[in-house]
């Protein structure tokens, strides 16, 4: 029961974070991007933890992780306008110099989250194997995008 409450809380926090981030976007898109990526990181941590067996799998938690990724995929690309390559950002310059490639990566992310959301149904993937099948490709798109479009630390 605690995992379900925590998953619901994660979903609510992520949703509120995205709503708050959108309000900031008009002035500076960088904090908005960072807020969205924070929610993605939390969802990836939850999902990855369940996939590794570090966190007990619960369908509601799986649904929350997928829903958070889906929301991010539908909004994230809107916060990279020209000129937002300056400032405190982990986005690599290639986001702007290879805008078509970046857009293609975002399209892969959006497609993967759409498939995961559809597979999760109303209550979330029924078991861990179903969750892994739905969520694994989402994480794969994150990794491939970060390899090219995120500053390497």
Kindly state the average pLDDT of the residues 25-37.
88
Q: Which of 8-12, 34-38, 116-120, 149-153 comes out lowest in average pLDDT? A: 8-12
Look at residue 91 and give its three-state secondary structure: strand
Q: What integer best gives the mean pLDDT of the chain?
A: 89
Q: In this predicted structure, which of 24-38, 62-76, 114-128 has the lowest mean pLDDT? A: 24-38
Decide: 7 and 55 in contact? Cβ < 8 Å.
no
Residue-wise pLDDT for 7-30, tens only, equals 555 554 555 555 554 444 458 999
SS3 1: coil
pLDDT at residue 45 in the model: 98
Mean pLDDT throughout 25-46? 92
pLDDT recorded at residue 6: 53
Q: What are the residue ranges spanned by the domains of the chain?
A: 2-149
Write the Ramachandran bin of 83: left for phi over 0, alpha for psi from -120 to 50, otherwise beta.
left
Give the CATH number of domain 2-149; options: 1.20.120.10, 3.40.50.2300, 3.40.640.10, 3.40.50.1980: 1.20.120.10
Q: Pick the closest to residue 21 from 8, 6, 39, 7 (CA basis).
A: 39
pLDDT tens-digit readout, 105-135: 999 999 999 999 999 999 999 999 999 999 9
């Amino acid at each position: 029961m605690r995992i379900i409450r925590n998953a619901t809380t994660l979903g609510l926090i992520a949703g509120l974070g995205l709503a708050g981030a959108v309000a900031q976007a008009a002035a500076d898109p960088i904090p908005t991007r960072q807020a969205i990526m924070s929610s993605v990181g939390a969802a990836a941590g939850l999902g990855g933890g369940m996939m590794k067996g570090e966190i007990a799998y619960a369908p509601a938690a799986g649904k929350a992780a997928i829903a958070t990724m889906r929301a991010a995929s539908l909004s994230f690309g809107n916060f990279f306008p020209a000129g937002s390559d300056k400032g405190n950002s982990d986005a690599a310059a290639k986001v702007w110099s290879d805008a078509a490639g970046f857009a293609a990566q975002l399209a892969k992310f959006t497609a993967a989250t759409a498939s995961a959301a559809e597979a999760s149904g109303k209550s979330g993937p029924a078991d861990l194997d179903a969750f892994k099948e739905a969520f694994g490709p989402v994480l794969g798109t994150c990794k491939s995008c970060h390899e090219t479009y995120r500053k390497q630390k």
